[in-house]
Structure 1
């Protein structure tokens, strides 16, 4: 936020806030579609093929097992229906692009960059913490797992709203 607001005036000449917000919206819609695809694909559970292991190291006292597969790239991107590290990275990029556009817009409206950066950092951290705690608690409720498609729908709605 601080960086985008600091260079907002320069970038506004090349990359308008409207375009940045639209790009962020398209990325959010894309991630939402991917989450929905993963949800509906998870109904077709397939047994993953066991990869041939080249080397296995097990340290029982630490409960550590290290396995090196012959072809680790064959591993499926995501079969769990949950947000993986890669999906989290894509979501972070989408939200960063959206935040970048918001930062440019805020700087053009005359908001103080330092104050906005602090407020965004505090609020993002607060909502991330609350979301992680609620997610941990609510993930154990089996009846809620039927609604795992909702994050995808919400991302699509937010993406459309941002456009």
Structure 2
């Protein structure tokens, strides 16, 4: 039980990106049905399973002192990247010279997702969560939820390795973080319209990265 409660702050920090996705959907009135949430949970769980397995291999090869240091270092690194990315996103974009795209793909429109290449789609979703709504129906279908689940679980992969190296139970990591990720999307959608206009909400994206840095430093020292 103590292990579970000490894992909660880590799970919250990693899952707050999912909360941000949910808020974005709530503001835009994008609906995520139950089975789509289930698909997101499954994608996150499978990603965590792979990351925990990687952590198990490292634990078997390296001493406990080193694994805890590496785990704390990974969390600090993830937190720093999250904060830096948020700072970068607040900067005004550079203006690019206009160059019309006359390719056949451009004539079909920018929302053509006939080529569902994860390497192309996932970066778009990370930059703008509503890009997962391929058909702009304001409802995330199961196949759209698959790509959304892959996108929101990327941070969980590295974090899962780091958390496993800190000694937490593999199945506790998978169950807690997978369910919390989907729960935060749901809660974010419900609360999106209520809090999106509040001034303090603009600072919330810095919180998960800062929390991971604090927890990682605590484990290191």
| TM-score exceeds 0.5 | yes
On the 8 A contact 2:71/2:164 being kept in 1, the answer is yes
Q: 2:70 touches 2:162 (CA, 8 Å); kept in 1? A: no
Q: Does 1:128 align with 2:177?
A: no
Matched, 1:20 2:71: yes
Q: Is the 8 A contact 1:24 1:98 kept in 2?
A: yes
- Aligned pair count reads 138
Per-residue displacement from partner, 1:13-55 (whole Å, max 9, x unpaired)? 89532123213212222212211331x22xx477875751301
Tell me the TM-score normalized by structure 1: 0.58
> What is aligned with 2:103?
54
Q: For residue 151 of structure 1, what is the aligned residue in structure 2?
A: 205
RMSD between aligned residues: 4.3
What is residue 4 of structure 1 aligned with on the other side?
55
CA shift in 2, pair 1:162/1:15, >3 Å: same
Secondary structure of the structure 1 residue equivalent to 2:62: helix
Note the 1:20-39 alignment, pairs <5 A.
20-38=71-89
Q: Which has the larger radius of gyration?
A: 1
Helix, strand or coil at the partner of 1:53: coil
Shift of 1:4: 2.4
Q: Secondary structure at the match of 1:52?
A: coil
Change (3 A) 1:77 1:148: same
1:99 paired to 2:163: yes
- SS of the counterpart of 2:103? strand
Identify the residue that residue 109 of structure 1 maps to in structure 2.
none
For 1:94 and 1:3, the matched residues in 2 are separated by: 10
Deviations 1:77-96 (CA, angstroms, capped at 9, x unpaired): 976599x9798465234413
Higher strand share: 1
Name stretches of at least 5 consecutive residues in structure 2 with no aligned partner: 1-51, 133-147
Change over 3 Å in CA distance of 1:51–1:135 after alignment to 2: farther
